[in-house]
Structure formats: structure tokens, C-alpha cells
Structure 1
Amino acid sequence: MQTSFNETPATTGASPLPDANPRRIRHDLEGLRGIAIALVVAFHVWLGRVSGGVDVFLVLSGFFFGGRLLRVAQQGQRLSLPRELTRLARRLLPALVFVLAVCAVLTVWIQPQTRWEPFADQTLASLGYFQNWHLASTVNDYLRAGEAVSPLQHLWSMSVQGQFFAATLLVVALVTVLGARLSSRSRRGTIVAIVGLAALASFVYANFAHVADQASAYYDTFARAWEPLAGVLAAAMISRIRWPGWLRVSAACLGLVAILLCGVLIDGVREYPARWALVPVVATLLVIFAGGGADQPETRPQLGPMRLLSLPPLVTLGAIGYSLYLWHWPVLILWLAYTDRESAGIVDGAAIIAVSVAAAWLTLRLIEEPLRDRGASVPSAHSRRRGTLTLAAATVLALVSAGLVMASFGWRQHVELVRSSGSELTTLPARDYPGARALIAQARVAKLPMRPSVLEAREDQPATSVDGCITEFLSTDLITCVYGDQTATRTIALAGGSHSEHWITALDLLGRQQGFKVTTYLKMGCPLTTDEVPIIAGSLEPYPECRVWIDDAMNRLIADRPDFVFTTTTRPYTDGPGDFVPGNYLGIWDRLAENGIAILGLRDTPWMFRDGVLFSPPDCIAGGGDADSCGLPRSEALSDSNPTLDYAGRYPLMSLLDLSDAICSAETCRAVEGNVLVYHDEHHLSATYVRSLADELARQLSDATGWW
């Protein structure tokens, strides 16, 4: 699947505004925008990487928008906030609302109901221009749960841009009002000083935020603000540029090469928006300065790089850049959802790009341009007809926006009503909802609706997730919590990643029944391993936070000396059938054995891999599948016997636990057993199903511990 940290072009959707010379239009920068959007689209569709194009767009937006406001302030004109905001709305909202409406229809048609809630949330966030903050607050949830990438996730930079525009307008309006008696040079100087200090503060903050929580910083407006502010500073400085021709050519070539290569050489997902973002930002500034300045009149022939950037195909591509980015990401994501694929190939990727370009061109011609305020000041029959059409279009736009808002709130309310009954999941009668008992005790299964339902599944998680008792991906803090009988002297330490975590539901219940406490040492996606550079499961992404956390957790476990450490001992093969014991687990077992700490080694539960790709049973069922079609053959999910048996003689202090027969039949690992949904996502058991496993887990724990 494409990376969850995607990039988008922050652009007003307008042609470039005049340079320092009011008669000169920067077609070269429109061409630069065309190159940037081409890179962004190609990297998203074929490479699943960040190209740096978003940074180019942010700088260009600051340059054009800030440059115009600087001229207004310098001329002493009173800035009308309502008029300016209306102008921005006319340029930004029509295409955005249209794309949101089309995506809503396609999402309902293509995607299962389990995906509608995140779409509704992000629709509201996009319309309200706080999508970036929404993603910043949920980024760890997306990573943890394997949340499918949203077709609207790319709109985060539109929110950053909108917030930047509003803040800049407010500052300039205040300066023009409060500094009405100042000279034009003083007003301009005041604005530039404020912008410079804000840019410096934002850059410093971005570097601190990057270290503290890079995933959230990626979407943070304050961490991104220095990039468009750099464009504003460029607009203030460009009239003073007096570069000779050779220096302009060198700067433009260097900037273009850096823009073309930064997506290949820099891992923007992990490095932006901190110091490495200086590469695309400075590269864009070099191109801006290379083609600008008072010594560059309209009549002077353009230099080679500027002539290249001014080619009509690039200028046209830049003109549709806003609409193209609005379209290409949802077209890609919805196509992948429709075809049930993880990535696009050469042919279908080219088709996705072609469809996106066509949709962008039509959106520009039929929606964006007709609603722009042109010629309104000329009293004529044509302008009156245009005004009538514009009013009608604005009315339709408002109605569609209202419809999107009502539909989003309506669906969210429906989901909340469904989940409000989910509190009864903890007290489902075993007679009606035997769950695992249908496999291990051949309990009779009544014909009743599955629980949790597909809409309840997402929230049917272990108590540790709800209580904040598991360390998030980007944190290294060691969090310990106590469950079960908290006054007991006998202790089981539940340690490792989320596949250890989902057993807390049964362990908590048994601890209270049998008189032992459960202390948790858990971190998302971080099983106990000796790998120096762990990776996040299902990807090749390095996970250094996991290494730091494991070192602290092991030291704490040895110091606390629990009676048993409960942890997983196997992993699935991702490129073939069955499961295995990772060699990097053995060092952990050795260290525990050296310290005389017994292990309850649990065979990991099946992961839902089909042809090497994870799939979600709740999504599958919501899309029309059933318990069998949304499951897997046991032979694909599990080896014939528990691979940990091969190490039993080497670790006498390890007791082996295996609940595979309580999750899978002899032939199939189904999505539903005993009227209970087995998984709440691609590979985590639902808390309700784990609750039904408590009896079998109790039997095996009794044999292993001798406590009852």
C-alpha cells in the first residue's frame, strides 16, 4: 500500500501572480509547478514515496500570495478581509467540494462500510481546513491498526495552506490598519520582519518537533509554516536581485536538479519537515531568484532553464496542478480498493494518471475558471449573465457542501448509535455467542447476528489500548500497568507487541478469578527481539524506537522478576505458508533463562495474509463476504505443528501455549466462529473473541503454572 505520509500541492489554483515587475508574468514558475506536480503524481502512483513536491508548492504559494499582499501593504491600500477570504474561497472551494462529492459517491460504491467512518471524518476535516490536525492526532492509530489509506488523506496540505493564508491575511490587515501613518517602506519592513521572525521560529520548532514526534510534526502547521514563509521572504527580496546571466543559469540548473533528485535521495516520510526539507525549499528559491529581479524585463530573452520551464506543456500542467492533485490520490486509492491490490503497476498506473489528468482539465475548465471573478467590474449584459451563472453555481456549491456535512455527521451518528450497544459485548451470553467454544467444545451455534458487527469491530480492542497502557510507535517510554488481581503476589508479565497485548482480555479475567496479577510491558509492533535494527511488521521500515524500548523493558523485567513472562514465540511467513520461530527471539529467551525467569511461550495467532498481502476480515464481510470466504485455509496460516516445539529441550523454563485449535478448525481459519467475529482488523483478535478463549487459556495456564 502507498505510504500513509503522502504529499499534496499547496496551491491557490491560480496562474502565477506578477513578479516585482507588474507587467511580467512568471511562466517559468508555472512550469516549475508543472514539474513538481508531475513528480508528486509519479512518486505516489509508482514509487509510494514522497517526492518533495509539496515543499515546492508551499514555497511557491508563499511567494505568489505573500508577494501580492506585500504590494498591497506597500501601496497603503486597506485590506478587506471579507473580500480576500471570498476571493480565496472562489479559487479553492469549488474544485475541492466537487472532488469530495465524487469521492463520497465512489467510496459508498466501492469501499465497505468499515471505511465510511474515516472518510466522513476526513470529509469534515477537509471542508473545515483542519485535515492536517486530524491526521496528526490519529497518525499512530493509522499505523497501529493497519488502517487503509484514505482517498482524502492527501488534503492535509490544503489545510496547512488555508491556515497559512488566513494567518497572513490577518497579519497584513493589522499592519495596514495599525501602521496607516507609517510610510510604505516602513509598513513593508514591519511585515517582512514579522515574517522573518515567524519563519525562523517555525524552522526551529520543526526541528524540535521532528525529534519529539516526527509523524505528528509532518502534518503540523507550525512545523510547516517556515516553508511558505520562505516564499514570502523571497517575494520581498526578489526586486533586489542583480545576478549575472551565468549565475542565474547555474542557480536554476542546481535548483532543478535538486528538486528532481530529492525524492530519490531523501526519505521525506521520515526527514520532513525538519532540516532536510531545506533541500527542496532552497532549490525552489534558487529557481525563483534565477528568473526574477528588476533587471529581468519582459522583453529580455529568457535563459535556457527558464525557457525550458516556460514550455507550453509544463505551463499547462502547472495550470491544472491544483485540480490534478485533488484528483490523482483518490483515483489511485479507489482503484486499488476496487481491484483489491496493494500498488499500481506500469500500465494501470499510467491509466490512473491519464484519468486524473483528464478529470483535472475538465475540473479546471468547467468548475474552477467559470467561478473565478473575471470582468465583474465591467457593467455589461455578459457580466450580468456571468454574475447570474456564478450565483447559481455558488448556490449549488453551498448545497453540495451542506449535503456532505449532513451525510458525514449522519453516518458518524449512526455508527455511534451502533457502538453504544457495544458495551454489552462483555456480557454476551455464552449460549448464544459461544465463540471459541464452538471449536473446542463443539458448542451449539444459534442463528444470530455476528458480534461484534463490522461497525463495532474497530473499537473492540483490548483494555490496554483504551487505557493508554501500550507505548505508541514513535515513543520509547516504558509504560507498565497492572490488571487481574492487583493485590496478588503471583505475577505474570505480559510483554512484547500488540500480538501479546490482545491476550490481556483473557488474562485480566483469569487473574481476577484465579488470584494473580498481570503487569504489562507493551509497545506497538515491537515483539521482544535482539535485532539491532528492528523493522515494523509487514514493511521494511526501520524501527529504532523498538530497540530502545526493548532494552529498557528487559532491564525492568529482570529487575521486577515476575513469576512468568507471557510473550509470543512465532511469526508468520509473509512470502509463503506457515509460521516459524524468528532467530532473533532466542537471545531474549536466553537472557530470561540466565536470570531464572520462566516463560509462557505462546504460539502467535494467524495473520490474514492472502497471496502475501494482508486483508481485513471485517472489511471483507462488510463487502459481502462470509465467514469462510473472509478466512484462510489453515495450511496457509499455520505450519503443521507448533515451530516452538523444536526449541522445547533447549529452554526447560519455557512452557508452550498453543490456542490455534481454538481459533482455526482442522481445515480453515474462519472470520467468524460461534457467532463471534474473530479479528477486529488484519491480524489482531477481537476482544470479544479473546474473551471466549479464556476457558482454553485457563486450562493451558493451569498445566503450565500449577496455580490452580
Structure 2
Amino acid sequence: MAFPPAQLEEVSGEPEPGRGGADRSHVSHKRADLQGMRAIAVLTVFANHLFGWPPGGFVGVDVFFVLSGFFITGLLIRERETTRAISFSKFYIRRVKRILPSALLVLVVTTIGSYIILPAARAAETLLDALYAAVFVSNFRFEAVGADYFQQGQPPSPLQHYWSLSIEEQFYFLWPALLAAVFAGTRRLRRRGIAWAGHWGLLVVMTVVVFASFGWAIILSASNPNSAYFSSLARVWELGVGALAAILGPWLTRIPETIRPALAYLGLSGVIISLFAINSTDRFPAPWAALPVLSTAVVVASFHGSSVRSVPLLTNSVARWFGDRSYTLYLWHWPVIVLLLALVPRGAVFYMTAAGLSLGLTAITYRFYEDPIRQSNWLLDAATDTGQAGNRPVARLSVNAWASIGALVATAAVVLIASIHYDSRLSETRQSVAAAVARDANAKEGAQVTQNPCFGAPAMMKPDCALYNPQLPLEPSIDAYATDSYKAALGDCYRNVPTGKAIEGNLTACTFGSDSDDAVRIAFVGDSHAAQLTPALWPILDSNKWRLTTYLGTTCHLAEPAPTGCRSALSQVTAELVEGKYDLLLVSNFNQGLPEASYEKAWAPVSAAGTPIAVISDNPHTTEDAIACLTRAAAGPGGIADCGSPRSEAFPATNSQAAAAVAVGASVIDLSGYYCTDDFCPSVIGNVIVYRDLTKDNSHITSTFAATLAPAVEAGIQNALLPR
């Protein structure tokens, strides 16, 4: 799960305007070592997203969370000690000045870029992502979308990195109020001369928050990793650790000077180790995030209340440059990578262009936009007007504030215009999807789908058919392929279980096809890779007098041990098969590397009972570039026929399903020749887009392409039913 870092703060507050009525109560004194930590964090996240290296580069987000918790808490405590109060208005004005201008700029540019570059359906999703990001709740959206199995295989949102910014803003919204409440609650003790009551109160409250959040993160990381990754409750402990470092400031000043450099290197070593010791398969954010989080806290503590020295890796001029611009680089790098990937294949040109654009946009934005705004009198001038009732200071909006309001109105206008254009483009997509659903529904009722002999899968068997004819349209269209799913037509006949959740219970048995007394009874069992083939089955049922009963659900492949969440349901289906309720068992599922013995153990009792078995081989797996290539090719002349992936990368080294089928005497319906040539698996076959999602763990095919497999599937089932 390689995802982005969090937004950053000045060490002791944002530098406020330096002229006129500016508020000078918060002066920035940047700790050079922590600027270096910012640089390391953002560069490792950038490298992880761009190159996939280092494998644990995504822990940069955890480094940022700790730093932000430390900076903000220290700022609030110092303000409380200096002014005897916390000004919520000043705090949030500083946050707005620091965060909002660049965040809105990137949102607007990315939304416009997505409309120009991406397919309509995906661009519309990006617009929705932008709306959530603008109000700092995008982590809730990505948590919800990620929990939907049918969304998992889609390309990442160019605004996905706003999830961490949202978590930080939620922390900023609640923590000042909680801190003020603690000080208010300990006021009586402090009036009695117990001066340390406020600090101890903060220490107790934040310690409880940290341990409660960490405990919840451990539970959620084990039961639902996707939710844990985006959950505010499972992440707040990381900001809390930084807050504890700020609260413990008076004690940290007592650290002996002689060991401070060693502590800094110890913490830095822990962060570097985490970049290589942690990867996306580990439980995250708990317990594994504890390594970078605690290591960062050690670096924070090492020079707290002392001058920074002897850490050149963190304090050099290059590290300071990137540290100052880390928030800006964080905002730009992800949309640049995602949108550029839709135009340029991975390779030297892509890597150099992505790096150059990200750094260039960062430098320009920081120099001419972000820093001037932060240094300006934006939002409110302390000017005075004389009212009729007397000489009372009256706050008035500055020119900069009116300009900002204008910018916000312009942003809203851009979003509104984009929405109108998206709706226009999406209407065509909806028509395409509706046609696909209608086609599936007609096939479901037994209607025959007529098509030319070079349309879809049959084109692979005809030398005179082109994989792609530019004179004919693609089906489904570039805008519609990602939503061309069996789900709408299959409905409740597929039990969808969100990833990471285990739900026991029966699978819904749905029956299609012939209702005659002498119909051949076929049980179809499998996961989403079986369900995606139903458009190939519906048109051939009535003409062959076949009655198909489906038992389909997430990860419900017929194997031993049975998958969690399908165990009882698959046991019931197996019992019915052994009892002779069906004339044929048809199975298919994602070939996820289960050993041959797992399938053989589950299928052997059915075969021994005399029920024939037919195994439909899994489709090849596609690659990110093979799908992104379609968008790139659609943006320019030709190229679509070249989109695809090498056959050597598309199939597993060993086919345990086929081996198990041979062992139990089952038939294998091998469709690989309809997906691939001897050395290449194209993304478009007979003007039909083959895949609707792209990850190696999904690689589902479009319903349109599945329907064109009907003749091949029909021949395979007929062969399986022949007397042995």
C-alpha cells in the first residue's frame, strides 16, 4: 500500500506578516535537523511512488505525522504560556494561510488535468475526490472506496494523497480544543500553586489517546487493513507521539549534551531501517509503524531545548531546501505521477519527466505563490476605521482578503464548470454502460448476441481479423470500460464481501436457463473471476437445455481448506454435488497460487461420486501499463493494437488448477488462446477492451469481452458432458 505523506508545519509557528498591522507573536525558528527529517520523509515517499523503491518509503507519512503533532502542540503550549490563553482564531488563520492556498491550487489544476487526460468516469471520480479533499475528509472517502471490492482494481486517484492531509486537519480541529479544555480543567489546581498541573494533565490525556489509538490500530490492521490505513482513529496515535514529545519538553531539556548527537543518529538509523525492513505486506499502521514513529520521536527529542549540531545528513543545505518545500512537493508529486502515467509509459522518459515536473512545479509554487502568501497580510488587516459612535477599531477585510475570496469563487466556478462538462461526458458513458447491461440482460433471458466474426475473442482464431480496426469504435469505450461489469446484471446472485472482512453464511443460489424437466443441471462455483464469465454462459443455456445454478462470492473458490467467509456455504454445495443433485460441476476462480493439493482435496469427493467436473482456466493477469496504454493511445493516432503485456508475465509459472483437474479426471476449458498469442496478451481484441481493472490481484475482464467467449465456453462444456 504505497500511499503519500502528511502536511508539515514550521517548528515554532508560521512566520507571520512582517509589515503593517501584522501579528509578530509567532516567529519561526526552524530546527535544521527536523527540516532534514522532512526532506528525508518526502523524498523517500516520492521515490517509493515513482520507482517503487525503497519498499518501505510509504513510512514517510508516519514521520510527517510525528513532526506535525510535535510542531502544533509546541506552538499551542508556547502560546498558552506566553499569553495565558489560546487564540483559536489566530491558530486557524495560520493553518489556513499555511495549508489552503497550495492545497486548493493543486486541487484545481489536478481536476482540470483529469478532465483533459482521463476517461470520463475516472475524471468524475477525481472531481468527487477533490470535493472531499477540499473539506479535509478524503480519508473517509478512500476508506469507503477501498473497502468496496469492485473498486479495488481501478487506477489510483490523482488526489489520493490528500488522505493524510485530511487526518492532520482533523487533528488540528480537535486538539486545540482538547488542550484548552485540559488547561481549563486544571485551572483550580494551578491557582493553588500547582503550576505543573496543566502539563501533567496534557501528558495524561495524550498518553491515553496514544495507547487507545494504537490498540485500535492493532485490532483494525489485523481485521481490515484497508480501513486501518486510512482511519483517523487508527492514525492519531502517531500525531500523539509527536505531541507527547512537545509536552515532555521541560524534561527533554535535561538530556546531557554529550549524548544528544548519538540519540539523533539512533533515531535516524531507525527511520532508515524502517524504509527497508517494512513493506506493503506488513500489518500497518500497527504494529509496524511504531518503528518509524518512535525513531522520529527520538530525533525530535535529541536536540530539544539545545542547539543542533553534528548531524550533517540532516542539516546540509540540500536537506534544508527540500525540507522547506516538502509540503509543496508532497502536493504536486502524486498527481504528476498519476496523470503522466496516463500519457507516457514507464521508462527513462517517464521517470525524468515526472521528477522534473514535480520539482519544477514545487520550486515555482513555493517561490511565487505559497511563500508570498504565507508572508503576506492575507485574510485580515489590523486597520482601524472611525465609527459614528466613537473611535472604536473596526476590523476590515484587506485587499488580499478580497482577492482570496475572489480566488475561492473562481475555484467554485471551475468545479461547477467541470461538473457540467463531466456530466455531459458521463451521459455518453452511462449510455454505453446501459447498453452493456441491456445486452447482458437479453443474454440472461436466452437471446443470442449477434456480432461480426471479428468482434472480440473469436478474432484471435481468425488470421484475417485485426486485433484493432481504427475504422470501428472500441467496445466498451475508453470512458466506459472500467464500469463494464457483470455486477449490475448479476445483482444479489454474487455475494460481495468487503476486503479484509470475513462473513460466514450461505451463498445465494440463483438459477438461469432451461426449466424443462430433462435439462442438464450445472452448478457453477467460484469467486469474482467465475462471476465475470456469466455473460458468456447466459446466451448458451436455453439452446443447449442447460439449467445453471450459481454459487458465487468474494474469494469463494472451491478448495481445501475453504476460504474464511465461505466455509459453511461451500460445504453445503459440496454435499449437494456428492448427493448427485447436479450433472456437472463448473468451477473457475482467480489463480492465486494455491497448491494443487488444495483443489484436488476439494474436487475429489465430487468426482468420486460420479459428477463430472469442468474447470475454466483463469484469464491472464494484466499490468498497469497495459491498461494505461489505452488512454495514451486514445490521445494520439494509432498504438492501441500495441497495448498489452508479455505472455510470460501474464500467467503463473505453474497452473495448479489444471494439474488438479488432471489428477481428479476433470476437463479443462482452456481459454488462453482467446486472450494471448504465443508471446503477447493484447489489451484490445477484435475492437473489444479485454480488461476493466488492472492490478495483478484482480485483472477482471469486461462483460463485453466475456460475452464474446460464449462459443468457446459452450464447446468446452459440451465436451465435458460427453460420456467418459
- In structure 2, what is the Cα distance between the partners aligned to 1:221 and 1:32? 23
Q: SS of 1:427's equivalent?
A: helix
What is the aligned partner in structure 1 of residue 336 from structure 2?
Answer: 331
1:456 aligns with 2:480: yes
1:38 aligns with 2:38: no
- In structure 1, what is the Cα distance between the partners aligned to 2:293 and 2:645? 51
What is the aligned partner in structure 1 of residue 500 from structure 2?
Answer: 474
What is the aligned partner in structure 1 of residue 614 from structure 2?
Answer: 600
Q: SS of 2:51's equivalent?
A: helix
What is the aligned partner in structure 1 of residue 692 from structure 2?
Answer: 680
- Aligned to 1:64, which of 57, 65, 71? 71
Q: SS of 1:518's equivalent?
A: strand
- In structure 2, what is the Cα distance between the partners aligned to 1:185 and 1:330? 47
What is the aligned partner in structure 1 of residue 586 from structure 2?
Answer: 566
Q: CA RMSD in A?
A: 4.7
Task: Tell which deviates more after alignment, 307-316 or 97-106.
Answer: 307-316
Q: Is the 8 A contact 1:44 1:50 kept in 2?
A: no
Q: Is the 8 A contact 1:81 1:173 kept in 2?
A: no
- In structure 1, what is the Cα distance between the partners aligned to 2:161 and 2:661? 53
How many residue pairs match? The answer is: 655
1:86 aligns with 2:97: no
1:155 Cα shift? 1.8
Taking structure 1 as the reference length, the TM-score comes to 0.78
Q: 1:83 to 1:63 in 2, by over 3 A?
A: same
What is the aligned partner in structure 2 of residue 401 from structure 1?
Answer: 411
Amino acid at match of 1:116: A
Query: Could you give the per-residue CA deviations for residues 667-693 of structure 1, whole angstroms, max 9, x where no partner exists?
Result: 998877788655434543322444465
- In structure 2, what is the Cα distance between the partners aligned to 1:146 and 1:527? 19
Q: 1:177 to 1:466 in 2, by over 3 A?
A: farther
Q: 1:415 to 1:187 in 2, by over 3 A?
A: farther
Query: Could you give the per-residue CA deviations for residues 132-156 of structure 1, whole angstroms, max 9, x where no partner exists?
Result: 1111112255886532233222221
Q: 1:145 to 1:190 in 2, by over 3 A?
A: closer
- In structure 1, what is the Cα distance between the partners aligned to 2:356 and 2:672? 47
Q: 1:393 to 1:263 in 2, by over 3 A?
A: farther
What is the aligned partner in structure 1 of residue 438 from structure 2?
Answer: 427
Task: Tell which deviates more after alignment, 309-318 or 229-238.
Answer: 309-318
Unaligned segments of structure 1, at least 5 residues: 381-385, 533-545, 573-581
Task: Tell which deviates more after alignment, 36-45 or 75-84.
Answer: 75-84
1:367 Cα shift? 1.3
- In structure 2, what is the Cα distance between the partners aligned to 1:277 and 1:483? 45
1:110 Cα shift? 3.8
What is the aligned partner in structure 2 of residue 500 from structure 1?
Answer: 530
Amino acid at match of 2:510: Y
Q: Is the 8 A contact 1:505 1:691 kept in 2?
A: yes
What is the aligned partner in structure 2 of residue 371 from structure 1?
Answer: 373
Task: Tell which deviates more after alignment, 200-209 or 311-320.
Answer: 311-320
- In structure 1, what is the Cα distance between the partners aligned to 2:135 and 2:322? 28
Q: 1:202 to 1:654 in 2, by over 3 A?
A: same
- In structure 2, what is the Cα distance between the partners aligned to 1:570 and 1:58? 38
- Aligned to 1:107, which of 114, 128, 152? 114
Q: 1:271 to 1:680 in 2, by over 3 A?
A: closer
- Aligned to 2:267, which of 252, 255, 261? 255
Q: 1:214 to 1:704 in 2, by over 3 A?
A: same
1:228 Cα shift? 0.6
1:622 Cα shift? 4.9
Q: 1:559 to 1:436 in 2, by over 3 A?
A: farther
1:353 aligns with 2:355: yes
1:217 aligns with 2:228: yes
Amino acid at match of 1:5: A
Query: Could you give the per-residue CA deviations for residues 33-78 of structure 1, whole angstroms, max 9, x where no partner exists?
Result: 2222232223333334332211111111111111222233445644
Q: SS of 2:701's equivalent?
A: coil
- Aligned to 1:196, which of 195, 201, 207? 207
Q: Is the 8 A contact 2:70 2:246 kept in 1?
A: yes
- In structure 2, what is the Cα distance between the partners aligned to 1:667 and 1:189? 68
- In structure 2, what is the Cα distance between the partners aligned to 1:604 and 1:660? 8
Query: Could you give the per-residue CA deviations for residues 247-295 of structure 1, whole angstroms, max 9, x where no partner exists?
Result: 32332111011112211011256332112211111111111111014xx
- In structure 2, what is the Cα distance between the partners aligned to 1:644 and 1:217? 33
Within 5 Å, give how 1:279-678 maps onto structure 2.
279-293=291-305, 296=306, 302-305=308-311, 309-341=314-346, 349=351, 352-372=354-374, 374=376, 390-391=400-401, 393-407=403-417, 409-410=419-420, 413-414=423-424, 417-418=427-428, 420-421=430-431, 422-428=433-439, 434-435=450-451, 452-463=476-487, 466-467=491-492, 469-477=495-503, 480-485=507-512, 492-507=522-537, 514=545, 516-524=547-555, 557-561=573-577, 563=582, 564-568=584-588, 584-585=595-596, 588-589=599-600, 591-595=602-606, 596=608, 597-605=611-619, 614-615=626-627, 619=631, 622-623=634-635, 629=641, 650=662, 653-658=665-670, 678=690
Q: SS of 1:221's equivalent?
A: coil
What is the aligned partner in structure 2 of residue 6 from structure 1?
Answer: 3
Q: Is the 8 A contact 1:436 1:692 kept in 2?
A: no
- In structure 1, what is the Cα distance between the partners aligned to 2:435 and 2:119? 24
Q: 1:237 to 1:608 in 2, by over 3 A?
A: closer
Percent of aligned positions with the same letter in both sequences?
A: 24
Taking structure 2 as the reference length, the TM-score comes to 0.76
Query: Could you give the per-residue CA deviations for residues 594-622 of structure 1, whole angstroms, max 9, x where no partner exists?
Result: 5425311224445556xx95326864675
- In structure 1, what is the Cα distance between the partners aligned to 2:660 and 2:595? 16
Q: Is the 8 A contact 2:647 2:681 kept in 1?
A: no
Amino acid at match of 1:62: G
Q: SS of 1:519's equivalent?
A: strand
Within 5 Å, give how 1:236-255 maps onto structure 2.
236-241=247-252, 242-255=254-267
Q: SS of 1:93's equivalent?
A: helix
- In structure 2, what is the Cα distance between the partners aligned to 1:76 and 1:633? 64
Q: SS of 1:325's equivalent?
A: helix
What is the aligned partner in structure 2 of residue 133 from structure 1?
Answer: 140
- In structure 2, what is the Cα distance between the partners aligned to 1:189 and 1:691? 68
Q: Is the 8 A contact 1:617 1:681 kept in 2?
A: no
Q: 1:606 to 1:358 in 2, by over 3 A?
A: closer
What is the aligned partner in structure 2 of residue 164 from structure 1?
Answer: 171
Q: Is the 8 A contact 1:8 1:54 kept in 2?
A: yes
Amino acid at match of 1:251: L
Amino acid at match of 1:50: G
1:320 Cα shift? 0.8
- In structure 1, what is the Cα distance between the partners aligned to 2:72 and 2:661? 71
- In structure 2, what is the Cα distance between the partners aligned to 1:57 and 1:633? 37
Q: Is the 8 A contact 1:436 1:674 kept in 2?
A: no
Q: Is the 8 A contact 2:115 2:418 kept in 1?
A: no
Task: Tell which deviates more after alignment, 50-59 or 409-418.
Answer: 409-418
1:98 Cα shift? 1.6
Amino acid at match of 2:56: V
1:88 Cα shift? 1.1
Q: Is the 8 A contact 1:676 1:689 kept in 2?
A: yes
- In structure 2, what is the Cα distance between the partners aligned to 1:47 and 1:668? 25
Q: Is the 8 A contact 2:587 2:616 kept in 1?
A: yes
1:232 aligns with 2:237: no
Q: Is the 8 A contact 1:121 1:408 kept in 2?
A: no
1:104 Cα shift? 3.1
- In structure 1, what is the Cα distance between the partners aligned to 2:49 and 2:645? 34
Q: SS of 1:271's equivalent?
A: coil
